Amino acid sequence: MDNYLSHRWPAHADERPLPMPPKTGKPRRDVLRAVLLVMGILALIALLVLIGFLVIRLILLVQIASSPRPAPSAAAPAYNSQQPSGWTPEDLPWADPDPAVRLALDTSEGTAMNASSIYERVLPGVVSVTAALRGGYSTGTGFIVESSGYVLTNYHIIDEGTALEVMLLSDSSIHPARVVGFDEEFDLAVLKIDGSGLPVLPLGDSGALSVGEQVYAVGNPMGDLYGSMTEGIVSALDREGNDIPNSLGMIQTSAALNSGNSGGPLLNSRGQVVGIVSAKITGMQNDTVIEGLGLAIPTTDLLPFVNHILATGESWRPSIGIKCVVASADGRTGIEVREVTADAAYQAGLRVGDLIVAANGTETPTLPALRRILYAAGVDGDVTCTVLRGGEELEIALTLIDTLGQESTP
């Protein structure tokens, strides 16, 4: 590299030693002039570099401000091409449901483990899920929940698929998979592969999580970085809103999640699955890149739907049959009834303006809190609501109905 600040003598200069100037104790004017010239050149170069940096930064900011901002969205599978129109779920391979299969939470306290021990324990039960599409394929993650080959994953991985494969990370063996059922809104799919004695991941109680608790995600980012593990904390619980692509009340985590992690397990310090990795919030807001906002579906909230799919092949929506909002009255926060949409709820005595402050003895300050109780009770289950009406507290008992596909919430 040329160094334009170095000084070289001319090639054919007089070879005799140059006479030394007399020492006067004062610097020669030409030396001082050369030093000042060099300093000036350096200052000019630094100024030009600074101006160039500022111009480039201004151009980038203008481009960012003028470009459309991506809305927060569900984490995509590692690859998913545009599909031709006309696809229906019937194009997927299907398996029969089995009412004899029923999952339960692992309520044992267990012992906290370090990250290496957790990884060693759960990796055999983590799988890669690949869906063949009409114009490509998509890949994600899943995990085994029953030793005969039942796998949980995200619906958006298999959406518009025509064939499915599951690869066991324990031995890289590939197995054809079939769909037992799915819930598109909750981004849940239950798959079945043939097998016996397969390693199973225990389902933990996501309701016992607390903000700040350590959690771990194991999955296949980019679709082929098999068995990658990341760690973080529970950043928040019961996340919901327009930017959250799920109404269950999501777990927010700082664990790094990338395309291909979808459908993988979110684990607590005892190696129990407390969530299914489903989405991350990405994009720009006020010229700031959004990052570190991963979302997982709480295991406890999903369990009633998983068991219903295992038994029937279909999902459901246990509901009171109302439209409602969070509100406060008489110093208490609950769910205010804005409209009664089901005859059963009206006949039970529920009215517009009632504030539901508890259900089955548990307080309901948020919509996820109320839904959690209803989903645990199930369709045709009985729920007793504690409501405030005109300053009085009433108990109203009712039977839940199925509102899948309807707008009533909950």
Structure tokens belonging to residue 260: 């291909």
Contact 75, 278 (CB under 8 A): yes
Q: Is 106 a catalytic residue?
A: no
Query: Which amino acid type is present at position 365?
Result: P
Catalytic residue chosen out of the listed positions 206, 228, 262, 408:
262
**Environment class of 254 (CB within 10 Å of its CB; exposed 0-12, middle 13-18, buried 19+):** middle
Q: Is 262 a catalytic residue?
A: yes
Q: Is 315 a catalytic residue?
A: no
Q: Which helix (H) or strand (E) holds 244?
A: none
Spatial separation of the C-alpha atoms in residues 352 and 342, rounded to whole Å:
12
- Sequence-ordered alpha helix ranges (H) in 338-393: 343-348, 367-377
Say whether 200 sits in a helix, a strand or coil. Answer: coil
Catalytic residue chosen out of the listed positions 183, 187, 301, 354:
187
Question: How distant is the alpha carbon of residue 378 from its chain centre?
Answer: 26
Catalytic residue chosen out of the listed positions 128, 156, 235, 259:
156
Residue 88: how many other CB atoms lie within 10 Å: 7
**Environment class of 261 (CB within 10 Å of its CB; exposed 0-12, middle 13-18, buried 19+):** buried
- Residues annotated as catalytic are 156, 187, 262
